Amino acid sequence: MTIQLNTDKNLTIHQEYEDKIQTQITDALSRFSDLITRLEVHLSDENGSKDGLEDKRCLIEAKITGKEPIAVTNLGNNYDLAIAGALTKLKSKLETVAGKMKAH
């Protein structure tokens, strides 16, 4: 499973934080690693340099073997919360896809 991390112009990620995000994603989605070929993670700040609640956005697009890609989005007060919420949504969708694939 390849993980590609993308950010907008308002965010610079240091290597330690990128490693933390990669580990968080890998741990959360490890049971789906045979299903997912590639993950694209997009982090952005919805209102730029201004402060605001729920303005950090995480979009995760999962490319799945033999299926259409799945994309989920989540907003949070910080990037960790946005990523955690998006991973929860993605796991739910992957459960559905995996269940349908086993049924056929």
Q: Identify the CATH number of the domain in which residue 18 sits.
A: 3.30.160.100
Predicted confidence (pLDDT) at residue 95 exceeds the cutoff of 90 = yes
Find, among 79, 61, 57, the residue nearest to 70 by Cα. Answer: 61
DSSP conformational letter for 12: -
**Structural domain containing residue 96:** 2-103
Asked if 75 and 37 count as a contact pair (C-beta separation under 8 A), the reply is no
User: Please, which pLDDT band fits residue 20 given cuts at 50, 70 and 90?
Assistant: very high
CA-CA-CA-CA torsion for 81, 43, 38, 27, nearest 10 degrees? Answer: -20
Question: Total structural domains in the chain?
Answer: 1
Strand order in the sheet with 36-45: 2-7, 36-45, 56-64, 70-76
| DSSP β-ladder status, 36-45 and 56-64 | antiparallel
The per-residue pLDDT for 27 is 95
Q: How far apart are CA 11 and CA 19, in angstroms?
A: 16
Q: What is the mean pLDDT of residues 88-102?
A: 90
